[in-house]
A and B are shown apart, each in its own frame.
Chain A
Amino acid sequence: MNTVKKYPKSIIENFDLYAPKLVSKEEFFSPGHRACQGCGEALAIRLMCKALGKDTIITNATGCMEVVSSVYPTTAWNLPWIHVAFPNAASVGSGVEAGLTALRRKGKIADRRVKSVAIGGDGGTMDIGFQALSGAMERFHDMLYVCFDNEAYMNTGIQRSSGTPFLASTSTAPAGKKIPGNQVWKKNMAEIMVAHNVPYVATATPSYPLDFMNKVKKARRVKGPSYIHCFAVCPTGWRSTSETCIKLGRLALETGIFPLYEVVDGKYRLTVEVPEKRRPVQDYLKGQGRFRHLTPDQIQVIQERVDIEWEALMIKVKHSKSREELRTLRGK
């Protein structure tokens, strides 16, 4: 990229937070799409678009959201939208940004900031699109990438991905008589993005809609890359009832399974409080058919892992410093 990168002292400016009455009534992801009942991802996209506003271009990886929203000749998108393939939402989105930047610079389009936003599922982000995402973040494009993580390849029929939790039963990691479901722990994608020195990284879920929208708004303002990992409940794939979609997202937080935090310029901060005494993971697992086969011992293994991961995160929350703080400390 030959677009000049000026690194302002603070890369994110002017935070102003959402309150319910400030949320736009305008719909950019319109009803009438074909998502399942109780789809956490469709809800999240609707909220994300409201927070992004009109001056946005969406690049969509192949996946549920592309399929349910764009059956020709219909479209659910009131924003400019492009879908090319499965593994390349990040690279197409980076091309959109490069194109807009060049055309603006050369006076061929209006000199107005339009944000390039790429979206994909956990498969399209954490597996097949991983390289393209890493490249786009490293090249420091002015773009936001949002991963809607429903923890398996739901569009193709609930096959396991690197986002699938330990021991969850999926169609390619079934709870068999000998092997009880997915045998490895979920990949921590947000951490990988932090390691790319992405100025703004956050986890979110539509179960906390204002927290999610505020994060989208902050990410939009970053003049560079930003990444949001959005936990999206999938009743179809998780074998949970559709009305528990919001509740499951809340339980994921309250058990510490999916903490909500943001990493601004390297500094970690919890954005939604978790009760001092976290709920046992059992509360989260029990409502889902994909965990139905778990024994108390197996649940205990999960509990211990969640406790350890929680501790690890708390250390970062307490002790991490932003690059800006580190610069100041050096000056002293």
Chain B
Amino acid sequence: MSKRVGMEVTTACAEAAALCRIDVASVYPITPQSHIAEHLSEIVNDGRLDASFMTVESEHSALSAAMGASATGARVFTATASQGLLFMSEILPITSAMRFPVVMIIANRAISGPINIWNDHSDIMHTRDTGWISFFADNGQEVVDMTIQAFKVGENRNVMLPVNVNVDGFQLTHTVEPILFPDQEEVDRFLPEYVPYATLHPDRPVSMGTLGVPEIYAEAQKAKDVAIVNSIKVVKEVWKEWEKLFGRKYEPIQSYRTKDADVALVTMGSMGETAEIAVDALRKQGVKAGLLKIKLWRPFPFAELKKAVKGIRVLAVTDRACSFGGPGGPVFSEIRSALYEESVRPAIVNYLIGLGGRDVQVEDFMEMVRKAAKGKLSEPYEFYGVRG
């Protein structure tokens, strides 16, 4: 039986990892992730979870140690944010290439220059193309659910890839929310013990991470791409199973009041809930507004997006990271490219919002929709509400 508990989301996330009966966690402290590591170490040291908790000396080592442990067949968990994720970036594509189903929580935080500890998505966008499956959570409940789902997806024999769950720093991580917790038996039933494909053990010696010469490197890249592209099927199956067991529905793209929408906002992460309120307010004023929330960022849900935008005249895509000197924010360019070959497609405008923790309020989203209704902004992408 699920139990409703009021809890800080980071604490809840650590509890979710414990429910997954992880064998090893290796974490390095960084704001706003640290509460996850702190609470998880408390769970381990209180004897509620039998796991090796590694307090490593850097994020680079956090993921490296996670890989070493995963190679022995352990279920492994780690978490980081911002500079920590960038410091890991050397190891990120190797984790996916070696097909270790490590699960990592990213407490999304702006990357430095200037240093800033608050929330945006520049960290995950910087490491976007490393072959990790990426979930985006809207609220604390989704963080708990997605943490558990991530192991099930990553460890599926047809997937065998690392998964990251993106959790907006502070906005989500440090918020106390009412969360429904599945009990241990329910999680055990949903998530059976990890059965690795090959492990490091003297009874059956294998070589992992060998040298890929030009004759094989390209094939290795293609194999990784095929694996992550095909993983969407498993993601959807896992989410269906979750809905059946726990009644909470997950979709790669979640539509909100888009049936007859004229202008639809696109968001990822915790701002989706603010945008919902803005859509409701606009609807009250007679504006046919709607909202698309992207929950699955990698693999990108192309078919689901095409279906979701049917009938929409203008998409107002919000991005929380810059692509300096590029075509606009990463979500925007992704969506525009995804719809390029559609004969009927919406006009698409791009707002860069909420950078480095800049507050975005209901009225801001309403204003974005009103401005977007023209189908074009005065610039290719707009730093919304930014001076200079």
Contacts and interface: CB of A to CB of B under 8 A. Distances in A.
A109 B94 CA distance: 26
A219 B91 CA distance: 29
Contacts of B216: 72-73
Contacts of B98: 84
A73 B220 CA distance: 12
**Range class of the B interface residue count:** 35 or more
B44 A2 contact: yes
A12 B200 CA distance: 26
A92 B57 contact: no
A71 interface: yes
Nearest to B98: A84
B115 interface: no
Interface string B101-117: 00000000000000000
A75 B210 contact: yes
B56 A109 contact: no
B348 to A, nearest CB: 39
A2 B210 contact: no
A106 B94 CA distance: 28
Nearest to A60: B209
Interface stretch (A96-104, A156-164, A296-304): A96-104
A93 B210 contact: no
Nearest to A106: B50
Contacts of B68: 59, 82, 84, 91-99
Contact of A2 (B51, B67, B71, B205): B51
Nearest to A100: B72
Contacts of A80: 200-202, 204-207
A91 B69 contact: no
Contacts of B51: 2, 102
A1 B58 contact: no
Contacts of A67: 211
B23 interface: yes
A139 interface: yes
Given A2-B45, A3-B52, A98 B209 contact: no
Interface of A: 1-3, 54-57, 59, 66-67, 70-73, 75, 77-85, 87-88, 90-103, 105-106, 108-110, 114, 131-132, 134-136, 138-139
16 contacts: A2-B45, A70-B209, A77-B205, A77-B207, A80-B201, A81-B200, A81-B205, A82-B207, A91-B64, A91-B65, A92-B64, A96-B71, A99-B68, A101-B52, A106-B23, A132-B61
- In the A-B complex, the 6 residue pairs with the smallest Cβ-Cβ separation, listed nearest first, are A95-B68, A135-B57, A95-B65, A99-B72, A99-B69, A91-B61
